[in-house]
Chains A and B, each alone.
Chain A
Amino acid sequence: MSDSLSVEELSQFRSWLASMPDDDLERILAKEWQDGSFNLSQKDKERLSQLKERIMDQCSPKRRIQGIVATFFKIAALIAIPVLCYTTWHWRSYSKQLADQSIVFSTQKGERSTISLPDGTLVILNELSSLSYSPGIFNSKSRQLDFEGEAFFQVAKDSLRPFTVKSAGLRVTVLGTQFNLMDRVSENAELFLKDGKVMVFSILSSQSAELSKGDRAILSRNDGQLTILRSTNAEQESLAWLDHNIVLKKASFVEVLDRITKHYGVTFEANWEPAEDDTFTGTLPSDDLEGALSILEIVYHIRASISGRTVRISK
């Protein structure tokens, strides 16, 4: 629908629209949706990420649980009041710490952030990752973080207060060191130790291992088994993302496309695929879609053309 109607045309358009049943309009819209190509202004694109945050807020499971069990907590609170009154005195100093809300850092798609923690530890957070800690507890006896995603940690030395990172599958305890940790729900978790010593504990299998410099621990998402690898190019592979690269190891063509889709938010249309065992190992730039595609063009002898958010692949 165009904005260049005259006022007179608008009144005709109004009567036309009023005469159209919803079902007919649906048919017109459906065709438009299937056939059309869509472009957004830069301003609207920027608003999309704010909109996403609002949507994710509403979809967060924590809030839903609050709704379901709110009634239970109301009743529980009534019962708990006398008990609380009695114990408040004894707990006062401790609850002060608990009252501190935890501090959360998180990154969106394509975003990276460097965080400096109160103890001097430096964390480089890769995209789609989050890290949180309670400031009241963090500095006193131990240093504890909750973590998801991928990050490189440069932990400040402090032999009296162990530094612990807890992710979905792993608990990593260190005294002072540098390591890269990746724990994303869809993949196996991975820890690469650049320097120093760490203890790794698999939450699923209760297996633990001590790593030393250069080691890489891989946690199987299925059974919680830890595998320790010592390979010469581990550092290069594990830390390539720090140099703005997407790292792929023996990835099938579909996996390669999947990583690019996740990273750049583009859709692929391909009428061709290579043999199953034709895998890709290497890095692709994470801030240059055309550059990444041109590498694929050379490796697979294909042509990739970008139109909007769609990439067409042909032989």
Chain B
Amino acid sequence: MHGKVDIERMLISQLKQGSERAFSDLYNIYAHQLLAFCKRYVKDSEKAEEIVQDVFIALWRNREKISQDTSIKGLLFVSARRLLINAWRKMVNSPIYEEFLAFKEKDTAPDAGASIEFDEFLQIVNSEIDKLNKTQRNAIIYTRFKGLSIRETASLMGLSEQTIKNQVTLGLKQLRQALGINYILFFMFFMNWPR
């Protein structure tokens, strides 16, 4: 292990002295591992990148406190684990992830869907939601993405509960048509999510 350990020791000692180059080298060595690791649990690239960003910024801010003999790989994990577990729990419990699995399960057409990634799915749904009118869009985002109840959404938007229900129904109908896939958003409409 001579080569790797010595280079890492050198980079740590430079990092402790504030070398941006050493920091950049450490990023180049470990960032792709960390991002790939985060993406195993948090399928949403943006969320996974946020964690990588927070972890590396923490590494830089705390550079003077790093012990010379530490393993950077271990350190990155310690710094990432809480963030990652929280984001993982959030994603698993999110309505949109359930929607994604439902979509993959129901959509058996050979040409589409089967190999779609959560990322792409999010992008497609988000771009369609952007096309809805403002009331429908917000009603859907609050109830289906942020997991608020109809009542909470109604008071937040200053509308009646019945209006929210109607707007969600209309919005989902339009989404279904826009996405052109029969089963998509079916579950969104009937399930109650935790939180």
List the interface of chain A (C-beta within 8 A of B): 1, 3-7, 10, 13-14, 17-18, 22, 25-26, 29-30, 32-33, 36, 38-40, 44-45, 47-48, 51-52, 54-56, 58-61, 109, 128, 184-186, 253-254, 257-258, 261-262, 265, 267-273, 309, 313
Contacts and interface: CB of A to CB of B under 8 A. Distances in A.
Interface stretch (B100-108, B132-140, B159-167): B100-108
A137 B25 CA distance: 35
Contacts of A30: 77, 81
Contacts of A1: 40-41, 88
Given A30-B81, A270-B1, A54 B53 contact: yes
Contacts of A261: 7, 25, 29
A59 B20 CA distance: 9
Nearest to B82: A22
Contacts of A253: 3
Interface residues of B, number: 58
B65 interface: no
B36 interface: yes
9 contacts: A10-B101, A30-B77, A36-B40, A38-B33, A40-B36, A44-B32, A186-B14, A267-B29, A270-B4
Contact of A268 (B3, B35, B39): B3
B187 A3 contact: no
Interface in B14-29: 14, 18-25, 27-29
Contacts of B4: 267-270
Which of B2, B3, B41 has the most A CB atoms < 10 Å from its CB? B3
Nearest to A110: B28
Given A48-B31, A59-B23, A10 B1 contact: no
B152 interface: no
Contacts of A265: 25, 28-29
Given A1-B41, A48-B32, 9 more contacts: A7-B98, A18-B194, A25-B88, A36-B37, A38-B33, A109-B28, A254-B6, A257-B7, A270-B4
